[in-house]
Structure 1
Amino acid sequence: MPAICGPCLEGGNKNPSVKWCTICEEQLCSGCVQHHQSLKLTRNHYLTEIRNDVSCTHASENKETVFNTPETCVYHPSVEIQFYCKKHDIMLCDACLGSHQSCHSDIVPIDLASNGTKNSQNFHSLQTEITNILQSFSTILANKQTVEKIFSNEVSSAKKKIVEIRLELVRYLEEMIDKKLLIEVESQEKNVLNQLTKDKTVAEDGRKEAAWFLEEISSILNTGSDKQAFMLLQRLKAFKNVRDQQLKEMSYNMQAYSLKIELPDRVELRSKMELLFGKVNMESTPYNVNMIQGMKISAFCATPCELIKTEKYVYSVSIMDAGQLLVVEFNLISSSKVFLFTDTGSRISEIKIPGTPTDSTAIPGGNKAVVLVDNKKLIFLEMEDTLHCKNIMKMAKGCNLINASLSKLYIAYKSEIIVMDINGHDVQYLKTLQMSGGVIQAFSVGRNDDVYYAIADRLYCMKDYGEEVFLYQTKDLIDVSGIALDAEGNVYICGKTSNNIHVLKQKDSSVQVLLREGNGLQKPSGICFDKFRNKLFVYYESSYDPIQVFNVTM
């Protein structure tokens, strides 16, 4: 339906509107536009065009439908998108600006925000991920078809056996056998086939939708504009999140069905009436199509142990001495939280935190932890029966990383590390370690308070007495996102863009690649190591992604 002029509608007329006033939040026809611009009170109001020809089509099965990326606002369908909020990663129209007043410095015109999107790494990375989704759904679909065929054969075999044994029984028992066995088998068959059909439908829909998105990406890459590419990119993010979740649920909850029928011996059938009837057993075997496999390199071996699912965006993960997992999650809609999990993923406790989390660290030798919030506040937590806040302290500088030893807090600020009292009482700057040029990407504290840190993908070690030593750099380690140490002093370095984890051995300073993309790493945002149980935790910032847990043997 065309948009109707607000003032005219009050007077009983239904004139189509042509402009939208962002101040009055009202639609205006051409006559009311002139009146609006002539009044002193409203002449400076900003008016924007209204599109009455907006249409958005969606693909449906067995229909040749074209997907269009709409250029109008989701919340105000008649108003064109003109801005992008970098803080909330959302496209806006003029009418949306009122709800983003605090984001003034993060709002840019859509034409500026979309500049270069078509050739951006993010756009091409999503193309790769959508391709993976297509392949994953195709694999699941093929698997479901195979399971269905095998199961149908077993059902036919079971029915044949039932018919054969039925011929051995007297006529008046035939009806009882039918009810006890055949109906039970057919019931199991119906339930299983219904589930397989449902799973195949979801897989087929996901495969078709992913295939379409890839065609749309290819079309935009060939003939589309950056603006179209940017808008499609926003839809691709939503599609990826939904379908990624479906893939994880289906991949980690796959079932293989096996129908077994237990029948008595024919001789016993004639001698014991109570053994006339057999039993139908239905078994389902869970398995994972994309199971992460361990990779053994020389003396090191990492094998998958657990997958810990989280609720929102994971900002940091650290390990308490008792093996508990301290997980800081960011929630854009409501309050962010700190969770305490067991190392197998069971939730122990949780606490809300004020502001946006930046980083966190567990303090060795006890049940305490510190969370860095809004880059300038330290929240000191303690675990007794539940997690609770002991103290909040403000920092003088905006920092982005935090770590701890038994007696000190280490907080990264640009290219330097501030060393503080562990408890936060009477805070004093005990030592400032001046680093090489650049920004610290990740760091960790080792034995004797040695600090291992990365700048420009180069690994350094700062000794407690101030000596700075260069340790490692390779082209195969890109965008360092995490550093961890084990009990032997071996250094684990995580590459986010290179999708791998390197290990620098303490014994002979040799380096090995412990895990790669083929082991399940997909842009890891950080790592931590349980020194007492030799477990490596790999976590991700993106929504719905689990925390991967690997057993490491040496």
Structure 2
Amino acid sequence: MASEVLLVKNERVIENQHNGADELTICPICYEVFKAPKYLPCLHTFCQSCLCTYIKSAVNSDACVLSTGFNCPVCWKFVPSPGSVNSPEDWASQLPGNHLIRTLMDKQSLPKSAPPTMVNDVTPTNNNNTENKSGEIKERRVSRKLPKQPGTEPTLELLCKEHKDKKLDLFCGDHEAPCCISCLTDHHKTCYSVLTLEEAAKGVAKKQTTLDLLKRLKDINQLVENILEDKKANINDLEKQKEWIEKEVEQLKEGITIHLDKLVSNLRDDISLLHKKQMEDLKSQLERCEKRHRVVTNCQKVFDACLKHASDVHMFIEINKLKSILNEQEDYLSINQSEFNRIDYEFEIFQGNLKDCLQSLGSVKVNTAPSVRTVEIKNAPIRSTTSVSLKNCIPHEMKTLSLKIGKNNTIVRGGIFLPDGRLLLADHTNSRLCLFDEQYDMEMEIQVPGNPWDLSLIEHKKAAFTIPNKGCSLILILNLENMKLEKEIRFPGKLYGLSYIDGYFVVTTDTEFTFYHRGKSSVIVLDQEGNIIRTLFQGKVVQHVRAVSKDRIYFTDWDSNTVHCITLDGEELFHFTHGDLYRPRGLTLDREGNVYVCGLWSNSVFQFSPEGEYLRTILDKRDGTLSPEAIGFDINSNRFFVSRNQSVIKIYRMKKK
């Protein structure tokens, strides 16, 4: 009886182990067990044939998909085209295979191990019985285990993406990347820390960093779930508040004249427009949170599967993939605090003599306050960038980008970080805009009719850029949702620097352009049709401009080696100069209002305070900074870029000293 109970328990344990991995081995498109599993950059995995069909449908909707990219079917993160595919089949076959999923599938395909068989009966053979001195046969209890079947253990072979026939059996500690022997010869000759993959991954499952990563993953997932729940509750509350406001409006309508009916209609239209905008914003925030939730949940599933089923080597590989995704999620949750605020309506009824002075029935205000649900989470390991002043930070290089095409060097004169973390650069030499994703991989190129100079963000959903043509300059408006040009503004003169504020464009222009810009220059304000509203400054050479508010407009004066700060009325607040600043070009501001300016001929980048006080030189020739053209800060983080000569763009992050 005891042996039967043991047999049942063993079968249940084995069944639970198999069921734990079932969910990860099901394709989210066809809902069947994976066939040739392939994964996307967001780590979501699909059958190769399912991905091929999905890409075909995307191509049928938009023929440019093969050259641009498509969205992940699960989290909708953009997957850029590798640029060398001729068909959906070719693209799907080039995607990397998911070795972890294959390992889980191999384990599931094995026959369930039978428990040890206990034999308690007496078998009349000399082999299974012993005879004592008196000649009596003693009973022997025999325990037989099923023999291990040869060839049933799943094998995992990690192959190098660059050298298809080579195994990944080394790990470069300098670059924190696995590599093969050919990679070592080609790319890691000068690296000091090179180990075998087994040595690097030894004991990774028990390391404190792995346990900390698991804790961070769970905490972030909990935080995202709380935010999602709060957003859904906020949407329901706003619906109820909207209904209450409409009832109040109806009660006002009952006792007044036909004139009031018209005002009611106007007010309801205003409410609907305002409500529509708030609902769109909230649903957009909800959608972004849901995407984050799907990504984090998928990461947690992958991590749990690794802990249960993967080898140390495979877990080590997966952990390196998860780190960058988790850092992105943490940065997003830490930086975009405004997206966690609640929104409520406040309705005020007009009080007074309606017949004599009634012009409207009231107004609806939007009140934003921190969400209680997110405030309660005090132990979530979210890294804050606001606790340390950027004045006390130093730049650490993160990435080097190159826009060089063949033998032609490029010059980047302007660039901006988009609200979703991507980077948009103006390639002045090759008449194009270059879009990089959050991992700084080229996502797409946008050809433009001329040589772009400067870029500015317009209310999060659009961007504007200048093209300084000789006869007639252009300001072009780019829709950031579909990356299409949607408007063109013409101006009879050369436009260079560009900034957008309160519905106006602040630009720099040359009226008499000569060698080294030795002409007459101005800082002017244009409306959205290109008409001049006012002239703020006139000098010899002004180039880049940044508008922060009506009281803060900064621009560089090439001729006097100066940065000016003026108001929208043209009143100068102060000007900044330094003995080592020579030929100022690009400038930008960080989230604290500190100003950064590139010295093109002094090979340096200067930082000064919002009051015009010199703080320090953050980059110079000793860092390899040569001829910096443009600089741009991501106000939602501590990142910034600097474009240099020879087509080089450096990405930095400000970190505590």
Which TM-score band (shorter chain)?
0.3 to 0.5
**Normalising to structure 1: TM-score of the pair?**
0.45
TM-score, normalized by length of structure 2? 0.38
